[in-house]
Amino acid sequence: MINLTQEQKKKLELLWFVYGNYGKKHSDGNHRFIQNLLEKGEDYRKLFKPSKEAKKAVDEILKSVETTEIRIEVTSRTVSPKESESEQKRLSRFHNFYNHCGEEWENFWDSGCDDECPVCGCDISPYESIDTQTEEVKT
Ligand SMILES: [Zn+2]
């Protein structure tokens, strides 16, 4: 079952009046092949044996949706939180460790800067800060 977009349906209908419906290149196989795609979203090319030309024209329309899907996939991959997290890590030179109100936490940042305590909300200086480029430890 193929899910056709509105645009694909429009294009297929135009094809149908060339390769089917007693159009210029009408054949019974072409006619039924395109009709089943339009009405049922079923690809019966093996059954109706449409002409090579008709198959090629139809495939071109069907292919146009695949490129759209690929584009969407790429877009959603670039915004995935996992990737932006590792990007943050890569850009951040310092691995900072904090300790306050009985809580311990850490972060990656481009400097050994203060971070907000999750309990009291105060700005806390890291008790340890590792420079990931030189592996120097500042305490
Ligand atoms: Zn605190």
Domain boundary among the residues 60, 78, 96 is at 78
Separation of alpha carbons 46 and 49, rounded Å: 5
Centroid of ligand 1 to alpha carbon of 111 (angstroms): 21
Length of the chain: 139
Write the CA distances from 124 to 2, 96, 102, integer angstroms.
58, 11, 13
Centroid of ligand 1 to alpha carbon of 121 (angstroms): 6
Centroid of ligand 1 to alpha carbon of 126 (angstroms): 12
Centroid of ligand 1 to alpha carbon of 114 (angstroms): 12
Centroid of ligand 1 to alpha carbon of 103 (angstroms): 8
Asked if residue 13 has pLDDT above 70, the reply is yes
In terms of domains, do 31 and 91 share one?
A: no
Asked if 112 contacts 95 with a C-beta cutoff of 8 angstroms, the reply is no
- The whole-model pTM stands at 0.47
Give the structural domain span for 108. 85-138
Assess if residue 1 is contained within a domain.
no
Give 51-78 pLDDT, tens digit per residue.
Answer: 999 999 999 999 886 555 555 555 555 5
